Structure 1
Amino acid sequence: MPAASRRHFLSLAALAAAAAACGRASASGGGGKETGRIRYQGWAGQVTLPELAEDLGYLGDVKLEWVGNTISGPQDIQSAATGQTDFGGAFNGAVVKLIAAGAPVRSVITYYGVDQEAYNGYYVLADSPIHGPRDLIGKKVAMNTLGAHAEALLDIYLQRGGLSPAEIAKVEPTVLPPVNTEQSLRQRQIEVAVLGGVLRDKALAAGGIRPLFSDFDLLGAFNAGSFVMTDRFLDRNPETSRTFVTGVARAIEWSRSTPKAEVIARSVEIVRRRGRNEDVAALRYWKSFGVAATGGRISDQDFQLWIDWLVPHGDLKAGQVRPGDLYTNAFNGLGGAPSTVVPPSPSRS
C-alpha cells in the first residue's frame, strides 16, 4: 500500500463490528413510538445546516439535542455509527471506508461541497519558498483531521505533481483545530495551512498568505460530504428521519435563494442565542455551503470518485462496495428538481 505508514483512513473494522452489534443507535421509544429528538455534535463558531433548518422552523416538532462539538468528520460519523449521536457528517471517502468496514449506516443527504465560493485552500506565507508539490517534502501541512477530505486532496495534489510513494510519505499531514491553524501558519510552526469557509476568508482578508492550490483547482465543483444515520435509526424512526432530511434539504435551498447578508445575520443570531461563548467574527465571511445538487440529493458519482481513489491505494478491494449501497434519497422529500422554498416563520424557539 503506498505511503501506508502515514495513512490513517479510519481503522474501523473493530468499530464497525461494535456498531453492528450494539443496540444504542436508535433513540426511539417503545411501542413503535418515534423519537422526537435527534442528538448531534456541532462545530464551534459555526452554524450547521441542521441547526439552520431548526431555526427556520423546517424540523417541525423534531428537536435537535446538542451533545458537544467536534473538529473531525471521521470522529463525527463514528459517533453516529456507535449510537453516541443520531447523525454525523464527514467527507464521502471517510463514509465509504466506514461502511466498507461493516458499519450499519447510510448517507442520507449532502451537507457540504466544493464550488468557486466554498472550497478548501492550501495556503503558505507570502514569503514561503514553497511553490509546488515537490517543495512539500519534509514540510508540515496542517488540517483538521487525518484520513478525511484534506488529506485525500493533498495526496491527489502530490500524485499529480509526480511524487513517488516514498516521497509522498515524507510530507507531514499534521492535525490542528481549524480555529488555530491560521495563527500556527503565521507563527511559522507549520508550512502549509488548510483553510476553508469563513476561516479561509478571514485569513485572506488579513493578508500575508497566498494559495498553493485548492480542492476546486483539482476537481472542480463536487458534492464532498454527507450526513449518515444508522439503518436502525432509519428503520425505527422513518417519519423523524424524513422530517430531518427534508428540513436540511430546505435549509440548503433557503441559503441559496436568500441574500448572503441575511444568511449571515441569521447565523450570528443563532450562535449568540445558544450561549456557548463563541466568537462570531468569522461568520461574516460566509459565502456558500457548496452543495452542488438540489436539496443535497446524493448520486453514485459522489462516492464513485473516492472508491476509484481508495482502491488503488489498497484501502478498498475492487468491488468491495457499490455506490448505490452507500446512500439513500428515500427520506429527502424535496425532490430532484428545484422547488419553491417556503419562507420561515418569524417566530423563534
Structure 2
Amino acid sequence: MSTLTFPANRRQFLTLMGLSAVAVGCGTAVGGGGSSKGQTRTVRYQGWAGTVTPPELAENLGYLEDVKLEWVGNTISGPQDIQSAATGQTDVGGAFNGAVVKLAARKAPIKSVISYYGVDRFAYSGYYVLEDSPIRSARDLVGKKVGMNTLGAHAEAMLDIYLQRQGLSQADIKKVEPLALPPVNTEESLRQKHIDVAVLGGILRDKALATGGIRPLFTDYQLLGAFSAGTYVMTERFLERNPDTSRTFVTGVARAIEWARATPREQVIDRMTEIVKKRGRDEDTAPLRYWQSYGVAETAGRINDGELQLWIDWLGGRGDIPKGRTEPSGLYTNEFNAYRAKAGSSPAADPTRPAPSATSSSRSGS
C-alpha cells in the first residue's frame, strides 16, 4: 500500500518542504506576532473546514488568556499539518500518532505536547460500504478502492491492521487501493460508486448514517478499543524560546478538552456553531449538530508511552522506521500541561472538571 515517506535526514526534510536549515534556525519556527518578555504571544495554526478544533474552542472560552491564535489556512492532512509545524510555517500542528512517530524518527525537531483527538464509542472512524455492496469481509477488499482523508495516516494504518488481523498476505494487502479524498467529498464518492469503501468519522460519519443506505465493514473502535490517537506537536526551538506561551496554549487546550467532556452536548454544539459563524469562512454549520466527542482518552490530553509505542511497533514491523531505535519517552512531554481540576466542584459549576466516568457521561472519552 502507498504510505507517506519522509526524507532520511533533517536537511533533506527541510529542502523538500522548501525551507533551509538556516531559515528554521533563524526564527521561522519561533512564531509570529508580538512578544512579551521576549516570547511570542501568537500561535500560528491550520484549521479544518467546518470543524472547531480544541485550540479554537479554548480561545473562545478564554482559556488561552493573552495568547492569540493566528489562522493561516485549512488542512485536510495530519502529516501535512505537522510538517508545517516542523518547518516553521506554523507553530503547532496535529496528526495521527503514527505520523508523528515517523516524522520524529527522521530527526525532525518536534515534540508532542498534548493529545487532541482519539477513539471511543462516540468518536470513531468507520469503514463504510453501500448497503447492497458485496463486500462483507477483508478478503472482499482485494482489488477495491478505499477513500480516506490522507495517506500514511490514521485511516490507512487502521486499514492495514484490519487486513493483517484478518489474515491477508502482504501480496493481497498491496492489492487494496487507498485513495486520498477531501473528507467532505468521501460520502458522495461512495454513493456514486467511484470508490468501494469510505472512511467516515465524527460529524461526516453521523450525517452519512442519518441519510442511510450504508453499513460499516468495521470501525477503529472495534479494532483497538478506546485510545488517544493524535497529538499536537511543536518544535523544540519554539518550546525552548516560548515556554510561558507554550504552557498557556497547552493548558488552555487541556481545559477546553475537559470542558467539552463535562458540558452537556447541546451546549458544546451551540458554542461550536457560534464559533464557526463568527469566523466568517463560508462554512456549513449544519453538520456540527452531529458532534459528540473529541475522543481523548486521558484526562486533559496527557500523553503516555503506550499511545506512541503502539505505532513505533507497527511502523517498525512495516520497515518504515528502524526497529529498536525509537523510544516513546523521547517523543513527547507533559511539562507544559498544567491542567488541574478544581476540587469540590461539579461539571456544571466548573466546566474544566473532567467527566466522572465513561459510563456516566453520554459522550465522554475513555
| Coarse TM-score class (shorter-chain normalised) | over 0.9
Range moving further from structure 2, 22-31 or 219-228: 22-31
Out of 139, 148, 158, the position equivalent to 1:143 is 148
Instruction: Give 2:86's aligned residue.
Output: 81
Out of 241, 244, 247, the position equivalent to 1:239 is 244
* 8 Å contact from structure 1 (residues 123, 213) kept in 2: yes
Instruction: Give 1:90's aligned residue.
Output: 95
The structure with higher relative contact order (CA 8 Å, sep 6+) is 1
Distance 1:337 1:97, change over 3 A: farther
Which runs of 5 or more residues in structure 1 are unaligned?
345-349
Distance 1:31 1:7, change over 3 A: closer
- Matched residue of 2:251: which SS? helix
- Matched residue of 1:229: which SS? strand
Out of 303, 309, 318, the position equivalent to 2:314 is 309
Instruction: Give 2:13's aligned residue.
Output: 15
The one-letter code of the counterpart of 1:311 is G
> What is the number of equivalent residue pairs in this alignment?
340
Instruction: Give 1:347's aligned residue.
Output: none
The 1-side partners of 2:292 and 2:343 are apart by 20
Instruction: Give 1:131's aligned residue.
Output: 136
- Matched residue of 1:158: which SS? helix
Instruction: Give 1:189's aligned residue.
Output: 194
Cα deviation, 1:80-136, whole Å, max 9, x if unaligned, reads 000000000000000001110011000000000000000010000000000010100
Instruction: Give 1:65's aligned residue.
Output: 70
Which runs of 5 or more residues in structure 2 are unaligned?
353-366
* 8 Å contact from structure 1 (residues 20, 102) kept in 2: no
Instruction: Give 1:153's aligned residue.
Output: 158
* 8 Å contact from structure 1 (residues 19, 81) kept in 2: no
Instruction: Give 2:299's aligned residue.
Output: 294
Instruction: Give 2:333's aligned residue.
Output: 328
The one-letter code of the counterpart of 1:160 is R
TM-score normalized by the length of structure 1: 0.93
Using the TM superposition, give the Cα deviation of residue 27 of structure 1 relative to its aligned residue in structure 2, in angstroms.
Answer: 2.0
TM-score normalized by the length of structure 2: 0.89
Cα deviation, 1:221-272, whole Å, max 9, x if unaligned, reads 0110000000010001000000000000000100011000000000000000
* 8 Å contact from structure 2 (residues 262, 351) kept in 1: no
Distance 1:304 1:335, change over 3 A: farther
Distance 1:11 1:126, change over 3 A: farther
Q: % of aligned pairs identical?
A: 66
Distance 1:167 1:302, change over 3 A: same
Out of 214, 230, 242, the position equivalent to 2:235 is 230
* 8 Å contact from structure 1 (residues 124, 211) kept in 2: yes
- Matched residue of 1:311: which SS? helix
Distance 1:187 1:54, change over 3 A: same
The 2-side partners of 1:146 and 1:130 are apart by 22
Instruction: Give 1:166's aligned residue.
Output: 171
